[in-house]
Amino acid sequence: MESDWQRSPDFYFRTAPREDRPFSILFGGDSRSDPAMRRQVNRLMAELTQRDPQIRCFAHGGDYINTGSSFAQWRQWLTDHEHTVTDGGRLLPIVPTRGNHDIGPLFEEVFGFPAGDTNYYALDLSPQVRLVTLNTEISLAGDQRAWLAEELAASRPRYRFLLAQYHRPAYPAVKRPGAAKQHWVPLFEQHNVDLVCEADGHVIKRTVPIREDKFDPAGVVYIGEGGLGVPQRQPKSERWYLRDSGMSARGHHVHVLTFTGEAIEGRGVGLGGVLLDEFRRARRQRVDSGDGRHNESADR
């Protein structure tokens, strides 16, 4: 970029893979209330991206700043986000989600949405990986639910891995379940979504596979839920879906999700590169858009 006879450094990014081959993304949420800590997590993301050229984008689960109508806070967030740039100038494209603190039209302006957009959409991360982004800050029923049902029904037969991201969790580690549990979870289960990424709770968590509100190896796993710079809360680790093969803890973090021909491999990475969690979601052996009861998935 050149402006007023000044030229910025050169930057670049890597596009999504055109062919079906392994790649990775970063996921995290809630960067709003501690800029100093936010910068530390951003530098962690730069280090991860520097080491792994297959990381292609950063899916953000919402709550970028405290007050979404504040241009000054958005400007600070954008300045802090420069710490995610690698030494060689590589940028990570952002796949944005609207959170409850992201009120007002500046969200659309920052991320290039049309004015008044509903902020739910879906995109291909690769020819075999589909990511659905939802908006918990408008009605979860009605038009959004109808769109989600149509999107999942069309996508499930076509993609090896199907993911969703949104802000307020259906299976929280701290708060009460959001409306997603009523309106979206039945669709996730019907169409065998492989992994759901949530935010808002200010902890790290991973649930056991869930179907019909109980453990099921062929169910849906929920991860999250917000560690990009907000003060961490104490998770309610006694909740059934966080016990046994699930997990929850305090700790600033970002998730690294790697997609191969056989599995989604996930790591929750804390400051200093500390490994906070590790999991594997094997590809489903049978995939259809029915009720999912005869589909299989192996977790390791």
pLDDT exceeding 70 applies to what percent of the chain?
Answer: 95
CATH number reported for the structural domain that contains residue 118 in this entry: 3.60.21.10
pLDDT-wise least confident of 123-127, 151-155, 194-198, 288-292: 288-292
30-44, pLDDT tens digit by residue? Answer: 999 999 999 999 999
Length of the chain as a residue count: 300
The answer to whether 178 and 203 have CB atoms below 8 angstroms apart is: no
**Percentage of the residues of the chain whose pLDDT score is greater than 90:** 94
CA distance 269 to 41: 10
Closest CA to 55 of 30, 79, 84, 96: 84
The string of pLDDT tens digits covering residues 175-220 is 999 999 999 999 999 999 999 999 999 999 999 999 999 999 999 9
Measure the CA–CA gap between 11 and 183, rounded to whole angstroms: 41
Give the helix ranges, DSSP H, for the chain. Answer: 35-51, 71-81, 106-111, 142-155, 180-183, 185-190
The pLDDT assigned to 226 comes to: 96
* Average pLDDT score over residue span 80-103: 97
72 has pLDDT over 60: yes
Does 227 map to a domain? yes
Residue 90: inside a domain: yes
Query: Cα separation of 272 and 91, whole Å?
Result: 21
Whole-number mean pLDDT of the chain? 95
Distance CA 117, CA 137 (A): 12
Residue 27 covered by a domain: no
Give how many domains the chain has, as a whole number: 1
Nearest to 195 by CA among 91, 299, 104, 71: 299
39 assigned to some structural domain = no
Left, alpha or beta for 104 (phi > 0: left; psi -120 to 50: alpha)? left
| Integer Cα distance of 18 and 4 in angstroms | 37
Which domain covers residue 217, as residue numbers?
44-282
The predicted model gives 46-72 an average pLDDT of 97
Q: Is residue 140 included in any domain, yes or no?
A: yes
Counting DSSP H helices and E strands in the chain, the numbers are 6, 17
> Is position 250 within any domain?
yes
Check whether 300 has a pLDDT greater than 60: no
> pLDDT, tens digit, for every residue of 229-271?
999 999 999 999 999 999 999 999 999 999 999 999 999 999 9
What is the DSSP code string of 195-231? EEE--SSSSEEEPPPEETTEE-TTSBEEEE---SSSP
pLDDT of residue 285: 81
Stretch 84-91: mean pLDDT:
96
Instruction: Give Cα separations from 15 to 9, 57, 97, 198 (angstroms).
Output: 20, 9, 20, 24
Query: What band does 142 get if pLDDT is binned at 50, 70 and 90?
Result: very high
Q: What is the pLDDT of residues 92-130, one digit of tens each?
A: 999 999 999 999 999 999 999 999 999 999 999 999 999
Question: Given CA atoms 204, 210, 215, 219 in this order, what sign does their dihedral have?
Answer: negative
Phi, psi of 287 (to 5 degrees): -130, 130
DSSP string, 102-126: --STHHHHHHTPPTT----EEEEEE
* Residue 291 clears pLDDT 80, i.e. is over it: no
Tell me, yes or no, whether 31 lies in a domain.
no
Q: Is the model's pLDDT at 14 over the cut of 90?
A: yes
Domain for residue 157, yes or no? yes
Per-residue pLDDT at 298 exceeds 80? no
